[in-house]
Amino acid sequence: MAKTFPAKYGEMVISKHNTAFGICPHHLLPVIYRVSVAYIPTERVLGLSKMSRLVRLLARGPRLQEDLTHELAEILFNKLESQGSAVYVEGLHMCMAARGVGAHEARLVTSAVRGVFLEIATREEFLKLVVTPHTTVL
């Protein structure tokens, strides 16, 4: 695991709207991701820049958005030994964008939760904080 620090608070840590680039394994076309990740620490916290870096590293190369989403949730839960993790990913897939009218606006949304984020109140707090209307191309 990357560098961690002792946790002072058992509160939700969110790294929101990380942009990352990947490749759709079906069509080998680019995907632009907007990724928000969160976890609630037990003993260790991960630096914010490390969270962004983790997102970018895992997004790279041909892989399914669903796999990316679940792997991020898994790492932030199991490797970090947190109380729980949540991941929300919007993917702008060039293979979809190339398919004509309206489709260029379509984004694939995936999410995954582990641990305490399985509780509805915690999950809703996370989603309320990361899901915002689109104002940019992504």
Alpha carbon distance 134, 138 (integer Å): 7
User: Considering beta carbons, is residue 10 or 62 the nearer one to Zn ion?
Assistant: 62
Please, what is the minimum distance in Å from the beta carbon of residue 23 to Zn ion?
A: 9
> Judged by CB under 5 A, does residue 104 bind Zn ion?
no
Tokens of 114: 């582990």
Please, what is the minimum distance in Å from the beta carbon of residue 130 to Zn ion?
A: 24
Binders of Zn ion among 25-64, rule CB under 5 A?
Answer: 26-27
Contact pick of 24, 37, 76, 112 for Zn ion (by CB under 5 A): 24
The one-letter amino acid at 65: Q
**DSSP states along 47-102:** -HHHHHHHHHHHH-SB--HHHHHHHHHHIIIIITT-SEEEEEEEEEEHHHHTT-TT
Please, what is the minimum distance in Å from the beta carbon of residue 20 to Zn ion?
A: 16
Interface segment toward Zn ion; rule CB under 5 A; list 18-26, 36-44, 79-87, 118-126: 18-26
